[in-house]
Each structure stands twice: as structure tokens, then as C-alpha cells.
Amino acid sequence: MILAVDVGGTNIRTALIASHGGTVQELRSRVSLGDRGVSENDLIEKLSALFSEIISSHNDISAIGIGFPGFFSAGSGILLSSPNLPQLHNVDLAGRLSEAVSLPVSMQNDALCAAIGEHRFGAGKGHANLLHITLGTGIGGGLILNGVPYTGESGMAMEFGHLRVAGSDLPRSCGCGGSGCVEAYASATAVSAQYFERSGIQTDAGDIYERACKGDKHAKEIIESAGHCLGMAIAQAIKLLDIHTVTISGGFAGAWPLLHPAIIKSLDTELIPPLKGKTTVLRSTLDDTAGLLGAAALIN
């Protein structure tokens, strides 16, 4: 069995997964990584303590695969940098963790892990090329080209959430320091913020979707605008990559019945004629296990 780990901004999930994929046996209540200021040694200690505890009660674990919110030097397990943990630079995370727990450890960017999982086991299965988008508190992306995960020259490929979407006179600010990024319009966080601005009500994207279904005009407009912006960003990616399959996972993908038609309408406006109608946009069939399955698939 492989111990699959998905290190998120707010919690660390762990699961046991057979090496050929298949059933995900999620292991425990979710634990937190701690604050942004965590040092390299604290991080190694925290993760290796968690892993050791799991390994001691499951003696069939042969390796650990980890999805982590950061940029990795291709295939090496060396964390180059992490927007969430800005104090970490060029840390051989996989190497240090492997030494600490005496098992092989592979690591890769979390959104790329989700893409790998979706490509191997989910809605992207059977497609040589795949653009996968994670739609949660932020927006991430992962790309598979010719069956191979694409990392870019410095492990930072597919910063999909920071593609600029045009057509706004007052572009919304983004966490990256810029403005007008698709993440500032279409992430769960952005949807929640826009709903608060329009209605004065503070609630989450799931609830906003339910309100939209019940006829709340503001909620519906904001979700459709999120889909429109997603379509604009997907169109930019298609114009560059001419890719035929896009999959979307993450909590806010729950708004699919409103999101998907808005994405398709926007794609149809944005694409040049010969590219129109060639791309299918699918909802993930794995949902929140894509990242864990992809992390397990790093081992092989």
C-alpha cells in the first residue's frame, strides 16, 4: 500500500491507496499544518511524526506520495518555493522526510497531483492530454501532455488561477499582488466576497449556489460571472495548447449546473472559429480524492 498525503492550506489529509489506484481508504481526522511561519525543521518534524504514527499501525506501507502547495524542481522532490510558506526555499523535502521515516517519498505540486489523479483514474482517463483545474479557496491547474505531467522549467507551470481575464474596468485585487486574475472572480473565496459586497450577507460558496438555485438574483449572477471568467481563462489555455479535454474538481465545482453552461457560453465567444467546439469541459468524477490518488500515483 501507498500512504497518500494531500497537504492543503488548512489541513493535511492522509489515505491508504493500493499501488494500482482503486479504493481510497482515508485515514484519520484531518490535521492542520500550522501557521504560515512554520520553519523547515518544524515542518519536517510535524509531517514525519504524523507519517511515523500511521506507519507504525499499518505495516504494509511501502512508500509515501505527497501533494504539497508549492513548486518542485521536476521529479526531484526538492521544494523550490511555496506561496503559502514563503520562508521555505530549495528544501529537499522528499529527501529529508524519506530519511526521517525510512521509506521512499515522492512529492509534487498539489494541483498537478490532482491532474495526475484525474488523468489516471477520473474523468480524464483515456485522454493523452488534459488540463485539470482545481476550484476551491484558490484556483490551481495541472497539465498532462502526451500522458506526462508537465511541470515547466522551474516547476511553476499552470498558474492557471493567475491568468488575467479581460473586460473589467475595475479589476478585482488578487492574493498574488496583481489584479484581474481569474482567481479573484471564480474561486470559492471570490464568490463569497462578491456575494457579501452585493448582499451584505457573509456566507460560503456552497450556500451561495443553493441560494442561486432558489432564485437569488445576486447569487445567480455572481456564479454565472465566475463561469464566464473561467471560460475566458480556459480559452486562453486552449489558444496556446489546443487541448481537447478540461476537467474541473474542487468544492466550488458543486455549482456545476450553473457554472458549466456559463463556461461553455464564454468559450464559444472567446475561441477563434477553428478552435470552437473541439474542447469538452467535464466535472471531476473523483472530486476531493483526485489529489490523494495523484499523490499515490507519484510512486512507481
CA dist 27 and 15 (Å) reads 5
Is residue 237 a contact residue for a second copy (CB under 8 A)? yes
Sign for the CA dihedral angle at 56, 17, 84, 187 comes to negative
Nearer to a second copy, 181 or 191 (CB): 181
The window from 36-44, 91-99, 177-185, 198-206 that contacts a second copy (CB under 8 A) reads 177-185
Does residue 11 belong to the site contacting a second copy (CB under 8 A)? no
Cβ pair 206, 218 in contact under 8 A: no
Positions 153 through 172 that interact with a second copy (CB under 8 A) = 153-160, 162-169, 171
Q: Which of residues 14-33 bind a second copy (CB under 8 A)?
A: none
In whole angstroms, give the CA distance from residue 42 to residue 90. Answer: 16
Among the residues of 72-109, which ranges form H helices? 93-101
**164 secondary structure, DSSP code:** B
Residues near a second copy (CB under 8 A), total = 48
Minimum distance from residue 17 beta carbon to a second copy (Å)? 28
Binds a second copy by CB under 8 A, chosen from 104, 275, 283, 287: 275
Residue closer to a second copy (CB basis): 71 or 209 = 71
239 binds a second copy (CB under 8 A): yes
Within 107-146, the residues that bind a second copy by CB under 8 A are 129, 141, 143, 145
C-alpha cell at 240: 496556446
- The CA R_g of the chain, rounded to the nearest whole Å, is 19
Contact, 205 vs 191, CB < 8 A?
A: yes
Quick note: the x/- pattern for a second copy over 69-108, rule CB under 8 A, is --x---------x-x-------------------------
Question: Does position 265 bind a second copy by CB under 8 A?
Answer: no
Q: Which is nearer to a second copy, 126 or 274 (CB)?
A: 274
Nearer Cβ to a second copy (106/129): 129
Toward a second copy, which CB reaches closer, 147 or 178? 178
Amino acid at 232: M
Do residues 233 and 268 lie in contact, with contact meaning Cβ atoms separated by under 8 Å?
Answer: no
From 20, 30, 36, 278, residue interacting with a second copy (rule: CB under 8 A) = 278
Residues in the chain: 300
96 φ, ψ to 5°? -65, -40
Please report how close the Cβ of residue 82 comes to a second copy at its closest, in angstroms. 9
Q: Which amino acid is at 292?
A: L
Instruction: Give me the sheet containing 63-68, strands edge to edge.
Output: 21-26, 12-18, 2-7, 63-68, 105-109
> Where do the H-state alpha helices sit in 74-109?
93-101
Residues that bind a second copy (CB under 8 A): 71, 81, 83, 129, 141, 143, 145, 150-160, 162-169, 171, 176-178, 180, 232, 235-237, 239-244, 269-270, 272-275, 278
